[in-house]
Amino acid sequence: MDQERAKELIARERDLVEKEIAATERDGPEEGDERKEPGDQDSEALYQDEFDAGRAENLKDRLAAVERAEERIAAGTYGLSIRSGDPIPDGRLEVNPTAELTVEEAEPGGSAG
């Protein structure tokens, strides 16, 4: 993949993830100081807080993947599998700019390289 296109894809992914993180942080927790247990009446806010916490963790993982992709771009290894060194098809990178493995390697039981 062309380096400029790779940089564009990763910059767009970073922007998207950072906006989602900011939106999550801006909204803050639904739950107040009052302790509610799951299943209690009006405990939907607790569920939403737990859902948001999982989403925030997922966003942190995505941001870490963006940072690793940026490092691969700088090192000149972007677009190559981190496991085998095989090229990752451009189509896969267009859909998932932070892909680190080929489709075959990413599948359960994929090649170990």
Q: Is residue 84 part of a domain?
A: no
The pLDDT value recorded for residue 112 is: 54
Q: Is residue 40 part of a domain?
A: yes
Q: Is residue 12 part of a domain?
A: yes
SS3 at position 76: coil
Q: Is residue 104 part of a domain?
A: no
Q: Is residue 112 part of a domain?
A: no
Q: Is residue 105 part of a domain?
A: no
Q: How many domains does the chain have?
A: 1
pTM of the model: 0.74
The pLDDT value recorded for residue 65 is: 98
The pLDDT value recorded for residue 25 is: 76
C-alpha 7/C-alpha 47 separation (Å) is: 38
Q: Is residue 46 part of a domain?
A: yes
The pLDDT value recorded for residue 24 is: 80
pLDDT along the chain (113 residues), means of 10: 96 96 72 52 61 81 97 97 97 97 90 56
Query: What range defines the domain where residue 46 resides?
Result: 3-78
The b/e string for 3-18 (b: 16+ C-beta within 10 A; e otherwise) is eeebbebbeebbeebe
